[in-house]
Structure 1
Amino acid sequence: MQIGANSLLQEMQSLSGEIKPSGLNSGFGSPITQQVSNTSGSDFGQLLSQAIGSVGELQANAGSLATRLDMGDTRVTLSDTVIAREKASVAFEATMQVRNKLIEAYKEIMSMPV
């Protein structure tokens, strides 16, 4: 499964909509208008699992392109390899940022008085 830039942005905005109050901006300059209709835990877990799987696929694709380029495959260009590596890098960085925000939110909830 390939993650496009628009679909990744939409997923991040919808996740941001769950965390932030609706009056705040999403960080991209526009108010959040998308709302998540189904917020059950299994669906979130499945979405997270798919996102991590997609990042893994992007990394594997970038690795295979780099290997094919190193082996002298004439069908693989240097620009394709660099673009694939950058896509994998951006996707991994976005995943790490989501993970950091989830951990931060968990710590904040756990420190709340009961």
Structure 2
Amino acid sequence: MNIKGPNLYAEMQSMAVQARAVGTELKLKNTAEVNPSQTDFSQLLTQALGNVNNLAQETGQLRNALEMGDPNVSLAQVMIASQKSSLAFEATVQVRNKLVESYKEIMSMPV
């Protein structure tokens, strides 16, 4: 599978805009918390992983429906869902890699 750089970048920008919007809503709701950024980040990460999981499950369901001969599901729908799922997973892996890299960098800083 070949992922085009501009498409991945555009998808990541779209996710960042969505995350900022969700983050703003969460900040307004959680103003009484001691450390709202920690909660916001964990909720955003949980939502992102849930979204990736939902896309993968939807792709699996469409693929099974196509294999069973469902006339309401086309090959194009399955391929598009598969690409969406793959792109979301790859973006999540990249975010994870950046988090691990940042963690290692912070841990190697002298105190």
Q: TM-score range by the shorter chain?
A: 0.7 to 0.9
2:60 alignment partner in structure 1 = 63
Distance 2:86 2:53 in 1: 11
Match of 2:107 among 97, 107, 110: 110
Task: Write the letter of the residue equivalent to 1:105.
Answer: S
Extract structure 1 runs of 4+ deviating beyond 3 A: 36-39
1:72 aligned to 2:79? no
Q: So what's the TM-score if we normalise by structure 2?
A: 0.72
2:33 alignment partner in structure 1 = none
Distance 1:10 1:42 in 2: 18
Note the aligned Cα RMSD (angstroms).
2.1
Alpha-carbon offset, residue 8 of structure 1: 1.4
Cα shift readout 1:8-31 (whole Å, capped 9, x = no counterpart): 14257x6xxxxxxxxxxxxxxxxx
In 2 relative to 1, CA 78–95 (structure 1 residues): closer, same or farther, beyond 3 Å? same
Q: Which has the higher contact order (CA 8 A, sep 6+)?
A: 2
Alpha-carbon offset, residue 71 of structure 1: 0.3
Alpha-carbon offset, residue 7 of structure 1: 3.7
- Which protein is richer in helix relative to its size? 2
Distance 1:67 1:11 in 2: 30
Name the stretch that deviates more: 101-110 or 39-48. Answer: 39-48
Pairs aligned (count): 89
Q: Within 5 A, what are the aligned runs for 1:44-63?
A: 44-63=41-60
1:90 aligned to 2:90? no
1:10 alignment partner in structure 2 = 17
Cα shift readout 1:46-84 (whole Å, capped 9, x = no counterpart): 000000000000000000000000000000000000000
Match of 1:101 among 94, 98, 103: 98
Unaligned runs of 5+ in 1: 15-35
Q: So what's the TM-score if we normalise by structure 1?
A: 0.70
